[in-house]
Amino acid sequence: MEPEDPHFEEPAYTIPLDDVLAFVRKKTEHPGAAPGSDLFADLHCTGKAFSSLVTDFGRAFNVDVSGYQWYFHTDEDDHSIGTMLFKPPNERVQRIPVTPEMLWVMANEGQWNIAYPEHEIPSSRADILINILLFLAGALLLAYIAKRW
């Protein structure tokens, strides 16, 4: 049942839903955030801001967030040429929404409780390697031009 349901009874948790909502509203700068709001899609909390929110949430509510896998919940802030050839981790999995209500349950359980599906993410990032190689090639080209100038 959703908390907006008039028949909803809040479980006997020690951390109130309102505390988690206040935290999310402050971090996302969305005063209208509701218990069922998707942090990514509805509140536009993405990339590093999303991961920062999760880290700060862990500290604020004493939650072990070591099981958090960013690529299931948000995208990367940075755009790269390498992603035109190789998919980044977040494009290799189906996104799982995170809501304030889910965070509230986690706050009371003391751990990041999302069970991720089995998946394979390459240990090395070919998209980042391409970016590094392009940067080095550009730097060498500039050095060559500067030397000849």
pLDDT at 1: 46
In tens, the pLDDT along 26-84 reads 999 999 999 999 999 999 999 999 999 999 999 999 999 999 999 899 987 666 666 56
CB distance 127 to 88 below 8 Å: yes
How far, in Å, CA of 78 to CA of 68, rounded? 20
CB distance 59 to 110 below 8 Å: no
CB distance 69 to 118 below 8 Å: no
Crossing angle of the two packed helices 100-109 and 17-28, in degrees rounded to 10: 120
The rounded percent of the chain whose pLDDT value lies above 90 is 56
The rounded percent of the chain whose pLDDT value lies above 70 is 81
How far, in Å, CA of 65 to CA of 74, rounded? 15
Q: Angle 90-49-31 (CA atoms, 0-180°, nearest 5)?
A: 120
pTM surpassing 0.95?
no
In tens, the pLDDT along 113-136 reads 999 999 777 676 666 666 677 778
How far, in Å, CA of 24 to CA of 20, rounded? 6
